[in-house]
């Protein structure tokens, strides 16, 4: 993990920005439906998207319709449900679906399992399912066991742990693959990828960005593949403001003279 690192500004400023949402652009709330992105942050994302000529995408475990609602009026390329559904820069959408028979049986089994664990919550995303236990953390091992049982029963699934959540999603779907796919398309092509995320689900994204010699940023504590770290959501907001100032500056000015703290001592 690199310490006391200022954001390395490329001479041409050609970045491709990828943001996780929950825990990165929006503070974690007791329930997923209570999460929101502050209006000022949405405005700054709009500005950053304009500066980067549209090379900005949200990469999240949430479905795309929820991402559009959270980020409104901003409309950018999306990777929802960890990349199981994507909207490319041209507005074309692609979705990976589970077999209908698997989905029907899985919902019944998961609903039965959650009903036996008061305080847990099943979130259906169509092609993926999230088992939340933020309000009943004593059920962590039981929730994990339920998810592992489903993966054994349905080999098309894979298990993805997160913060107080365990998700079941189609095999081969992850944020790294989604970012790599975006990087093959204009306006992302030829730019330096920057990915900011906070959870275990973001590690595949960090790995992919590192392989592309990009910039990976972990929000919060914990082991990570990311090369840089920000302390929390508020630090992300501050970083976003600072990077907008930096990218708007005359490119002939000295970057070294700016002296702001971006990733600084928050390592």
pLDDT truncated to tens, each residue of the chain (267 aa)?
554 345 555 556 789 999 999 999 999 988 888 999 999 999 999 999 999 999 999 999 999 999 999 999 999 999 999 999 999 999 999 999 889 999 999 999 999 999 999 999 999 888 889 999 989 999 999 999 999 999 999 999 999 888 899 999 888 899 999 999 999 999 999 999 999 999 999 999 999 999 999 999 999 999 999 999 999 999 999 999 988 988 877 443 543 444 434 444 333
Does some domain include residue 259?
yes
Say how far apart CA 45 and CA 238 lie, in whole Å.
Answer: 12
Q: How do residues 185-231 score in pLDDT, each as one tens digit? A: 999 999 999 999 999 999 999 999 999 999 999 999 999 999 999 99
Based on the fold, state whether residues 186 and 234 are members of the same structural domain: yes
Q: Which of 143, 170, 197 is the last residue of a domain?
A: 170
Residue 27 tokens, joined: 């503070």
Q: Which of 123, 141, 170 is the last residue of a domain?
A: 170
State the residue range of the domain holding 233.
15-95+173-266
Based on the fold, state whether residues 39 and 159 are members of the same structural domain: no
> CB burial class (10 A; 0-12, 13-18, 19+) of residue 194?
buried
Say how far apart CA 126 and CA 124 lie, in whole Å.
Answer: 6
Q: Which of 121, 152, 170 is the last residue of a domain?
A: 170
Read off the CATH number of the domain in which 151 is found.
3.30.70.1020
Say how far apart CA 171 and CA 162 lie, in whole Å.
Answer: 16
Read off the CATH number of the domain in which 25 is found.
3.40.50.1000
Does some domain include residue 3?
no
Does some domain include residue 9?
no
Q: pTM of this prediction?
A: 0.83
- Active centre residues (catalytic): 20
Among 84, 83, 79, 168, which residue's Cα sits nearest to residue 129? Answer: 168
């Amino acid at each position: 993990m690199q310490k006391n690192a200022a954001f390395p500004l490329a001479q041409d400023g050609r970045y491709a920005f990828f943001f996780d949402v929950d825990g990165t652009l929006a503070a974690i709330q007791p329930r997923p439906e209570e999460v929101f992105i502050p209006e000022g942050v949405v405005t700054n994302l709009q500005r950053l998207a304009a500066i980067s000529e549209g090379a900005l995408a949200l990469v999240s475990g949430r479905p795309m319709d929820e991402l559009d609602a959270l980020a409104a009026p901003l409309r950018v390329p999306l990777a929802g449900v960890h990349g199981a559904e994507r909207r490319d820069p041209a507005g074309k959408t692609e979705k990976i679906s589970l077999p209908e028979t698997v989905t029907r049986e899985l919902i019944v089994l998961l609903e039965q399992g959650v009903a036996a664990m008061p305080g847990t919550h099943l979130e259906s995303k169509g092609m993926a399912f999230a088992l939340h236990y933020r309000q009943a953390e004593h059920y962590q091992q039981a929730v994990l066991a339920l998810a592992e049982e489903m993966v054994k029963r349905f080999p098309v699934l894979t298990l993805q742990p997160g913060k107080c959540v365990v998700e079941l999603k189609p095999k081969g779907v992850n944020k790294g693959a989604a970012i790599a796919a975006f990087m093959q398309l204009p306006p992302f092509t030829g730019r330096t990828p920057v990915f900011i995320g906070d959870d275990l689900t973001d590690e595949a994204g960090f790995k992919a960005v590192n392989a592309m010699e990009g910039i990976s940023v972990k929000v919060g504590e914990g082991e990570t593949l990311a090369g840089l770290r920000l302390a929390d959501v508020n630090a992300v907001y501050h970083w976003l403001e600072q990077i907008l100032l930096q990218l708007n500056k005359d490119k002939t000015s000295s970057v070294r003279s700016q002296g702001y703290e971006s990733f600084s001592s928050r390592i």
